[in-house]
Structure 1
């Protein structure tokens, strides 16, 4: 009896280990799939605190921010009290999170919620326009740029609220002639800011110092440009659209498209891996697309890796050589954090 029990236990452990380390194909190796029951609905964006070993996830429809152990994926805490959280910026100087929150449905206001990670509670709220959603963070200036207003707030323009993250204070606003803005990226050697004008199928190019719109670049033959990533060293900007799912590489010196490839569907997050010269795109169709940069003008899709239901949210953590993907609960199957090692 004991021998049978031990054998069964060994087989069970072996099955778990195998499920966590089985090859997923291409350059991504699934290291762990960690379930966290009780959290329902769609997710929005991640943020990571590498030194503090924490991973943060906006559980949009659960109205919470979930906190995990970055190395193991173990669920640590849940922060309630949101209406609809979306983008997250971690502020190490005061151990806080700044989280965009759309506000109540059909309400007049949205918020940037300030979360104390000492208490894991919302400690303050910065009022902005309704439908606060995506955001970008410029580490050089400690400024967060949050997309607010737009079509979801029944407005035909968007206002980017500029937030000083250390003071948790709104310091400026940028009015944008687009019903939705997504995925803001920043040059560090240069002085420009890029943003997807989602409802116009354009990329907006701004001067960071005075927020002047310098030019727009059309995204040809596609619509709903959502995620974006920047390879500043090679002067390349990457954009993925949803209608259809398509990958674009722009030359940031000319604004011209130098390459296009098919992409995963319903993409929401994308990252450029400068060390391996790869791009990772997570799609709501349950796959992660991986692209190899052969040179600045030539790209090849080298991976179409299964993820999970609604798994459009991801974050690349270069310090750990890992990609984290959030898969939503489906039926009796709970939500999961998928942790991929990158070859």
Structure 2
């Protein structure tokens, strides 16, 4: 935990192996941390600054997300190709659903307004669109190799997937039932995380190597509309 006023670490909480993603459920003052190799989800009470519960699974856990409309936490159970639902009121698992032919559902982003989840399938390089109301996949689109983190721009209705192979796969949500791939935008290899500014639509991509050499650099891309390219 970091005190933003002092800009220093004030506390460390032990979790299971390899904490790899987190989601904050603000109304509940809880942070949900996926411990990928620990096959667990640690639940942190941010008012008490302590772990209040750990959920254990028979699968590695992928990226979690909080749905502010449904008021649920979603977690990818990536070894089982299952989409799990946690109720933050009770911190119990209230649903487990198949993601169909998506193999290794790891990254996740949400369009809560239209009840859609976007899953990065590491095993067979698909972007799966999952209907959160009917609890089933409705579309599968091809990804570049090595997909990881997924982000959604709600203004442009774009889905971005960072891929280790040196690309950001970009998709367009034409409406809640129709999606299309725009391009695999070339970036440095091993880019596997992203952030999207919902106001400016800029895409932030941290780089760990540049032209094959170790680096620690943040590259910022401007979103482009009405042209062949999607970023610049």
TM-score range, shorter chain: 0.7 to 0.9
In structure 2, the residue matched to 1:236 is 116
Please list, as runs of the form range in 1=range in 2, the aligned pairs for 1:310-329 lying within 5 A after superposition.
310-329=190-209
Asked whether 1:215 is paired with 2:215, we answer no
CA drift of 1:269 comes to 1.1
CA drift of 1:254 comes to 0.9
Rg: which structure is higher?
Answer: 1
CA RMSD in angstroms comes to: 1.9
Partner of residue 29 from structure 2, selected from 123, 142, 166 = 142
Give the secondary-structure state (helix, strand or coil) at the position aligned to 1:233.
Answer: helix
In structure 1, the residue matched to 2:229 is none
Q: 1:194 & 1:332 partners in 2: Cα distance? A: 36
In structure 2, the residue matched to 1:174 is 55
Please list, as runs of the form range in 1=range in 2, the aligned pairs for 1:223-262 lying within 5 A after superposition.
223-262=103-142
CA contact 2:73–2:87 (8 Å) conserved in 1: yes
Give the secondary-structure state (helix, strand or coil) at the position aligned to 1:276.
Answer: coil
CA drift of 1:215 comes to 2.3
CA drift of 1:128 comes to 2.6
Provide closer, same or farther for how the CA distance between residues 174 and 336 of structure 1 changes in structure 2, counting only shifts above 3 A: same
Give the secondary-structure state (helix, strand or coil) at the position aligned to 2:190.
Answer: coil
- Kindly provide the CA deviation profile for residues 17-71 of structure 1, in whole angstroms up to 9, marking residues without a partner as x: xxxxxxxxxxxxxxxxxxxxxxxxxxxxxxxxxxxxxxxxxxxxxxxxxxxxxxx
* Count, aligned residues: 223
Give the secondary-structure state (helix, strand or coil) at the position aligned to 2:162.
Answer: strand
Partner of residue 206 from structure 1, selected from 72, 83, 86 = 86
CA drift of 1:323 comes to 0.7
Give the secondary-structure state (helix, strand or coil) at the position aligned to 2:18.
Answer: coil
CA drift of 1:118 comes to 4.1
Provide closer, same or farther for how the CA distance between residues 235 and 278 of structure 1 changes in structure 2, counting only shifts above 3 A: same
Q: 1:165 & 1:208 partners in 2: Cα distance? A: 14
Q: 1:234 & 1:118 partners in 2: Cα distance? A: 37
TM-score scaled by structure 2? Answer: 0.87
Q: 1:294 & 1:125 partners in 2: Cα distance? A: 43
CA drift of 1:160 comes to 1.5
Q: 1:329 & 1:298 partners in 2: Cα distance? A: 35
In structure 2, the residue matched to 1:122 is 9
- Please, which runs of 5 or more residues in structure 2 have no aligned partner? 225-232
Provide closer, same or farther for how the CA distance between residues 267 and 141 of structure 1 changes in structure 2, counting only shifts above 3 A: same
CA contact 1:181–1:198 (8 Å) conserved in 2: yes
CA contact 1:134–1:147 (8 Å) conserved in 2: yes
CA drift of 1:135 comes to 1.7
- Kindly provide the CA deviation profile for residues 142-184 of structure 1, in whole angstroms up to 9, marking residues without a partner as x: 2111123x6x45xxxx231111224322222222232x11111
- Please, which runs of 5 or more residues in structure 1 have no aligned partner? 1-113
RCO comparison, higher one (Cα < 8 Å, 6+): 1
Provide closer, same or farther for how the CA distance between residues 124 and 248 of structure 1 changes in structure 2, counting only shifts above 3 A: same
Give the secondary-structure state (helix, strand or coil) at the position aligned to 1:145.
Answer: strand
Q: 2:213 & 2:156 partners in 1: Cα distance? A: 38
Greater share of residues in helix: 1
Give the secondary-structure state (helix, strand or coil) at the position aligned to 2:79.
Answer: helix
Give the secondary-structure state (helix, strand or coil) at the position aligned to 2:10.
Answer: strand
Q: 1:118 & 1:209 partners in 2: Cα distance? A: 31
